[in-house]
Amino acid sequence: MIRIPLHMPQLGESIAEATIVRLIAATGDAVVADSDVMEVETNKAVMGVVAPCNGTLVEIRAVEGESYAVGAVLGYLEVSEEDADRMGYLEPEEEPTVQPVGSMPAGAPEKPKKKRTPKPEPVHSDKVEPTIKGLPVPAHAGGASYLSPRMKARMVELGLSAADLAGVAGSGAGGRVTIEDFEKFMENLDRQKVTDASPMRVAVADAMRRSWTRPLATVVIPVPLDNLLTHRKASKEKAGVSLYALRALAMALSENSAPAGRLIGSQIVHPGSIDIGFAVEAEDGVLVPVIREADKHTLVELVPIYARLVELARQRRLAPADMGHCISTVTNYGTFGLTFATPIPLPEQTVLLGLGAGRIEPQWDKDRQQFVPATVARFTLSFDHRVLDGGAAGRLLSRIADLLNHPEQL
C-alpha cells in the first residue's frame, strides 16, 4: 500500500483558501472514491473535500476552525499501488537496460525488478492566517478624505481601512479625523460588544464597496400582475414571480444585449451568454446562483433548474459552476414586504432587476370607463449610469413589463 496526501482542492475561481468546518471521516476509516472526507467553507459556500480513490484515512492534519491554503496537505490516505500510479504519485519506472545479444550466460537469473517509490512531496505551507481581518471592509477602500502618514501606519497596524472611519467625528481642521480622534474611537469600540464578521458578510461588504465605485441609478415602473397570476394558476409547473421576471429579463436582453454590456476603457463589451443570477438569502448573507443561457430555456424548463439551485443555495452547497460570471441578477425584495428599493448591482454587472411586493390598487379600465382593482408591483432596474442612460434603462424595463403582461410568450 502507498501513502498519498489529501490536498485542499481548488474550490472555485479566485478562491485561495478555505476553513475546515467539519471532519466527516476519522483516522483509520475506510473511504471510497468521491466520498466526502471533510467539509470546508469558503466565503461563498460549504463544500466537501472528497477522497480521490478508495483507501484508508491514516492521518488527519486539518483542524476544525482553521484556514488552509489551496494545495495544503489536509491528511494522508493509504491506497493501492495501482491507484497511486494512476494519480501520478509514484516515480516513473526505470527504462530496462538493453543487453547485447549473447552477453548474458544461458540460465542466468533475471535482474529483480526495482520497487517503485512514492514521489517526494513538495514543500508547502499548510495552515494560513485568514485573509479577512479588521472590520468587514477591505483595506484599499476609500473613506476619509485625508489621512496623515501616522494615521495610515496606525490603521495598517490594526488591519483597518479608511472606510472604517465613516462613523468617526473629526475634530481637526476641515473636519479631518486626527490620531487622537481615532484612538478615542478605538477605545470606545473596546467597551462595546464586538462579534467577528462571517466570511460571507465580509465578501458581501467587499462586493458592495466595489460596486459603489461606479455612478449607479435606478428607474421604476408599476407592473400589473393579474395576467401573470392567472397564467401561473393555470400552469401545471408553478413558477414563482421571480422566475417569471428572470425569464422576461433574459428574453429582453437576448433581443438587445447592449444594456448588459460592461464598460472596459472606451469600449462596451457585450455578453457572450445570457446567464442570469437570482438572489437567495442565506445565513448571514446573500448567495447568487446562476441559470446559464436563461434565454434558451422556456419558463417550464426553468422551474426544476430554479428549484434545485434555490435548495442548494439555502444549504450553502452550490457548486462553483452554479455561481459567478452572470450578466445580471434578479432580486425579489418584495418577499420582505418591501414595495420599493434601490438594490446595487454586483461589481461585474451593469443592470439588476428588483421586484417589489404586489399590492391591490385601483387601475383605470378604458373599456369599462371606471377604476377596477388590480394587483400591481413596482419593478426597479438599477444600472451603471456610465453604460446606460435613463431612456435605455426605461426601455429595457418597459420591455420586461410587457413580457410579464403576456406570460404566454415566456
Q: Which residue has the higher pLDDT, 163 or 223?
A: 223
CA distance linking residue 289 with residue 307, whole number of Å: 11
pLDDT (0 to 100) of residue 111: 54
pLDDT (0 to 100) of residue 282: 79
From the list 338, 351, 324, 341, the residue with the least C-alpha distance to 249 is 351
pLDDT greater than 70 at residue 11? yes
The mean pLDDT of 143-170, rounded to a whole number, is 70
CA distance linking residue 89 with residue 291, whole number of Å: 38
pLDDT (0 to 100) of residue 135: 33
**Average pLDDT, whole number, for the chain?**
82
pLDDT (0 to 100) of residue 140: 32
Q: Which residue has the higher pLDDT, 190 or 39?
A: 39
The mean pLDDT of 213-236, rounded to a whole number, is 93
User: In angstroms, what CA-CA distances link 106 with 97, 99, 158?
Assistant: 18, 13, 79
In eight-state DSSP terms, residue 289 is B
Q: Are 381 and 354 in contact (CB under 8 A)?
A: yes
Which of 11-20, 154-163, 186-195, 351-360 has the largest mean confidence? 351-360
pTM of the predicted model as reported, rounded to 2 decimal places: 0.64
CA distance linking residue 377 with residue 361, whole number of Å: 10
Which residue do the cell numbers 477591505 mark? 138
Q: Which residue has the higher pLDDT, 12 or 247?
A: 247
pLDDT (0 to 100) of residue 407: 94
pLDDT greater than 70 at residue 113? no
Q: Amino acid identity, residue 91? A: E
Of the candidate ranges 118-122, 150-154, 371-375, the one whose mean pLDDT is the lowest:
118-122
CA distance linking residue 183 with residue 292, whole number of Å: 50
pLDDT band at 94 (very low <50, low <70, confident <90, very high): low
pLDDT per residue over 311-342, tens digit each? Answer: 998 888 888 889 888 999 999 999 999 999 99
pLDDT (0 to 100) of residue 122: 54
pLDDT greater than 60 at residue 136? no
Q: What percent of the chain has pLDDT over 90?
A: 41
pLDDT (0 to 100) of residue 199: 75
Which residue do the cell numbers 446562483 mark? 289
From the list 198, 195, 196, 197, the residue with the least C-alpha distance to 46 is 198
User: In angstroms, what CA-CA distances link 32 with 188, 317, 394, 406?
Assistant: 54, 21, 55, 52
pLDDT (0 to 100) of residue 232: 94
Domains of the chain (ranges plus CATH)?
2-92+118-128 (2.40.50.100), 149-196 (4.10.320), 213-409 (3.30.559.10)
pLDDT (0 to 100) of residue 14: 58
Which residue do the cell numbers 411586493 mark? 357
Kindly provide the b/e burial profile for residues 145-173, where b requires at least 16 CB atoms within 10 angstroms of the residue's own CB. Answer: eebeeebeebbeeeebbbbbbeebebeee
CA distance linking residue 294 with residue 254, whole number of Å: 9
pLDDT (0 to 100) of residue 106: 57
